[in-house]
Amino acid sequence: MAKKIHSGSGQTSPPSAGSVQASSSATASSVSRDSAEHYRWGVDCDGWHLVKDTELSVIEEFMPPGAAEIRHYHERSQQFFYILTGEVLMEINGENKLIAAGSGVRILPGTSHQIRNPSSGPVRFLVVSQPPSHDDRVDQ
């Protein structure tokens, strides 16, 4: 069963100097699945590039029931997987972890991992990679 995700407390703190400098009108536009670059992967899986630049990648992904990614690792990229809906089984260095909606897991460079959807329902999740991981993948 998917948990409802609530937004934060509503309180905001002032941005740090670094975040102010990083903000510009070119990077401050909103993005959604409707406006993001879409791609297909695996069997019936979808991805949307919400952020795609040389330093950071943020992708929303969709996996139907029974789908799985190929086990792999990244030599330079670290990743953070955050489950939006459903739950996934993440194999990390041979150990299986069940990750439910509202939870995430960090994968460091060199760490073998594979995400699977063993459930009867689809899952949606975010994959944040720094630096971007698409050219940094070693399949096992």
> pLDDT digits over 61-79, tens only?
999 999 999 999 999 999 9
pLDDT band at 99 (very low <50, low <70, confident <90, very high): very high
Q: What is the pTM of this model?
A: 0.79
* Whether the Cβ atoms of residue 69 and residue 117 lie closer than 8 Å to each other: no
Helix/strand/coil percent split, the chain, to 5: 5, 45, 50
Q: Give the model's confidence band at 135: pLDDT under 50 very low, under 70 low, under 90 confident, else very high.
A: confident
Separation of CA 139 from chain center: 18
Residues 6+ apart with CB under 8 A from 41: 47, 61, 69
